[in-house]
Amino acid sequence: MPDKMDYASAGVDIDLEGSAVSSLISSLTKSVRPSGTPGAPVDLPGGFGGLIEFGDHLLALATDGVGSKLQIASALNQWSGVGIDCMAMNVNDLLCVGAEPIAFVDYVAVPKPDPIVHAALGASLAEACRQARVTLAGGETASLPGIVTELDLSGTALGYLNKGEAITGENLELGDILIGLPSSGIHSNGYSLVRKIIEHVGASYTDPAPFNCASEYRDIMRFENSNADLTIGEILLNPTRIYCDPVVDLIKHAQSDETAYSVSDIRGICHITGGGLTNLLRLHDTFGWEINDPIQPHPEFDWLAEVGGVETWEMYRTFNMGCGMIIAVNKEFSETIYHWLIQRMPGAKIIGKVVDNGRKVVHSPLGIEFSHY
């Protein structure tokens, strides 16, 4: 039986991070522009993206990075997916407030520039812009010997939406239906734990994956000239799914005269990133969430849990477990919205509902629950 592992023992304490972020935010309360002027803040539950006023619109901003997934990319010298990861971590957060992403800027920090690596990053970011349908408006490359020892990649995304159409979770009602969108793999969270497990079992990223990699509704990005069996590294570096298509199109469809539902019937959108299912708790202060028919986890999650001795509760608090985004919708239109989504993203699934069970997330089939983010 392997020693039990968790995210904290791998060096990432989610609770401590939450406390640190709260301390940072509390020190920034006076750094705002006056209400009614461009750039004035808009109160926003959840914190997936920040909203500011801008005339008849609201601008949405999000910033994030790829994290320690980059260490695997560096070990394998495989950079084709990390630009997509960086984009996804930002634009997927913007979608959660109902914004359409329109522009992105990147920040690359390196101990020493490498033109070949930078060219690969550029190609990956270009593909990310295509998938997210945004403009790469600029960026910065910093050479920081003595400060950074490995390449770090982060970015900031800009989006916009009409005033009065922000999706915040405040319109949620009991009985609203949860629709899950499938992930492409581990995405870009939990990699400190992933790397610790790989080290613990003595595996190499170039080893053939020791499990059946077949999983519906996703493709694996192969390394160049790779015709052999899928490797552990290819599975772990599979890029994060960008959800602009179909979520932006769903919102635009709701704004049109072509359907009976409106944007207000899209009650909440949740990006399942660090914190796993606990992210749902960010959408409402009192309602609960019941997951009764979940999306099937990808096989790499089962393998990591088994060989790492990671408890089920910890897996669902750390990883997306096959479901990268959850959309809460008005029950009255849930079937219509679900059928619209599944035509554009196979694998989308009605997975649960909003309930009055106290402010907690309950995964009924597994008998696990979460009461704090």
Residue 116 resides in a domain: yes
Query: Has residue 23 been placed in a domain?
Result: no
Strands 57-65 and 41-42: what pairing?
unpaired
pLDDT per residue as tens digits for the range 209-244: 999 999 999 999 999 766 789 999 999 999 999 999
Alpha-carbon distance of 324 to 371, in angstroms, equals 20
- Residue 30 zone, left/alpha/beta (φ > 0; ψ -120 to 50; rest): alpha
Say how far apart CA 1 and CA 22 lie, in whole Å: 38
CATH number at residue 61: 3.30.1330.10
Domain for residue 122, yes or no?
Answer: yes
Q: Is the CB of residue 266 less than 8 Å from the CB of residue 251? A: yes
Residue 272 clears pLDDT 60, i.e. is over it:
yes
**Which value, to the nearest 10 degrees, does the dihedral of the CA atoms of residues 234, 124, 122, 86 take?**
-90
Q: Which residues contact 173 (CB under 8 A, 6 or more apart)?
A: 267, 330, 354
Q: pLDDT of 314-362, one tens digit each?
A: 999 999 999 999 999 999 999 999 999 999 999 999 999 999 999 999 9
Q: What is the rounded CA–CA span in Å between residue 225 and residue 49? A: 39
For residue 77, pLDDT over 70 is answered with yes
Choose among 345, 172, 189, 198: nearest CA to 274.
189
17-62, pLDDT tens digit by residue?
Answer: 667 666 665 666 656 788 889 999 888 776 688 999 999 999 999 9
Q: In this structure, is residue 358 part of a structural domain? A: no
- Find the helix or strand (DSSP H, E) in which 95 lies: helix 82-95
274 within a domain of the structure (yes/no)? no
Token pair in block for residue 371: 């009461």
Instruction: Decide if 59 is inside a domain.
Output: yes
Residue 270 lies in a domain: no
**How many separate domains does the chain show?**
1
Cβ atoms of residues 249 and 132 within 8 Å: no
Question: What does the pLDDT read at residue 36?
Answer: 87
For residue 169, tell me if it sits in a domain.
no
pLDDT tens digit sequence for 149-178:
999 999 999 999 999 999 999 999 999 999
| Domain interval for residue 137 | 51-162
Structural tokens at position 217: 């509704």
